[in-house]
Amino acid sequence: MEVLATPAAMRAWRRARGGTVGFVPTMGYLHEGHLALVRRSVAENDATVASIFVNPTQFGPGEDFERYPRDEVRDLALLEDAGVAAVYLPVAADIYPPGFQTYVTVEDVSRRLEGEARPGHFRGVATVVLKLFNGVEPDRAYFGRKDAQQLRVVRRMARDLDLPVEIVPCDIVREPDGLALSSRNVYLTPEQRAAAPVLSRALLQARSRFADGERDASVLRETVRSIVLTQSRGTPEYISLADDETLAEVSGKVEGPAVLSLVVRFGQTRLLDNIELSPPNP
């Protein structure tokens, strides 16, 4: 496995390599969720590139950029074991050299939900993802459904800017008790960790009401809220039932594909989860 540090080295590697390349962008501190993306890419492409870059521009002031968990040695060993051909490991000065002033803004879909809670976050994500794509020139790029809004922002950017890359969404990987895997789960205290599966429990309950025919968006949001409120450690920040593509809130009845998502705050840690709902075709 090769480790490439600069955009120029990355691009030279890509251009020397024939065949299809799958790409898994990460901020490191890898878990089974990342490795599921890597395994899928390895299965579907001639070669897989993963990147590890904790991107400063997607963290707001007072967020956890400095203390974001990092373990490069372990990450490299896991990626090598999983069959990755090259790891792109740039430093911030290569991605954002002095004088840098060009950013990508995906307008509408970035503004809602996480965009409201974390102003500038998706501008940082879209900008770095485009820069990583420019280095790796992948045929396919793999993103987890766990970050539902990020997936939609990147998909919109790829369509709007005619990027020659297929964005491949991959299912959420969960702990046996339902908690969605996230590098930030390490921040939870044992008590918060014990309470955290309430997110997936609430979503599953709402999904089961949806399967039984409930289509009223406010009833489905309220189902989630009432279950989250059965425990006292986590405070719901938002519960959203939104159009699957634009993430505009559904008012009234759910008539097309939708995403039910929530954020629950446990102390300083915000946990996200979501589930997709699709009414059967008439």
Active site residues: 34
Look at residue 84 and give its three-state secondary structure.
Answer: coil
Selected binder of ligand PAF within 7, 22, 25, 138 (CB under 6 A): 25
User: Of the two residues 31 and 225, which places its CB atom closer to ligand PAF in the complex?
Assistant: 31
Among candidate residues 130, 67, 68, 43, the one with its CA nearest the CA of residue 95: 130
Distances (CA, A) of 54 to 67, 69, 232: 11, 9, 32
Contact range with ligand PAF by CB under 6 A, out of 19-27, 76-84, 246-254, 273-281: 19-27
State the nearest-atom distance from the C-beta of 141 to ligand PAF, in Å: 9
User: Of the two residues 27 and 89, which places its CB atom closer to ligand PAF in the complex?
Assistant: 27
Q: Tokens for 214? A: 């409930």
Cα-flanking dihedrals φ and ψ of residue 56, to 5°?
-60, -30
Enumerate residues 140-169 that contact ligand PAF by CB under 6 A: 147, 150
Contacts of 216 (CB under 8 A, 6+ apart): 252, 253, 254
Work out whether 273 is an interface residue with ligand PAF (CB under 6 A). no
Enumerate residues 114-143 that contact ligand PAF by CB under 6 A: 125, 128-129
Enumerate residues 52-71 that contact ligand PAF by CB under 6 A: 55, 58
Size of the site for ligand PAF (CB under 6 A): 10
Question: By rule CB under 6 A, what string of x and - marks binding of each residue 167-186 to ligand PAF?
Answer: --------------------
Work out whether 240 is an interface residue with ligand PAF (CB under 6 A). no
Kindly give the residue spans of alpha helices, DSSP state H, lying in the chain: 7-16, 32-44, 72-81, 92-95, 107-111, 114-117, 121-136, 148-160, 190-195, 198-211, 217-228
Look at residue 184 and give its three-state secondary structure.
Answer: helix
- The C-alpha atoms of residue 165 and residue 138 are separated, in whole angstroms, by 6
Work out whether 26 is an interface residue with ligand PAF (CB under 6 A). yes
Question: By rule CB under 6 A, what string of x and - marks binding of each residue 71-100 to ligand PAF?
Answer: ------------------------------
| DSSP summary character for residue 187 | G
Q: Tokens for 90? A: 């740039």
| Contacts to ligand PAF by CB under 6 A | 25-27, 55, 58, 125, 128-129, 147, 150
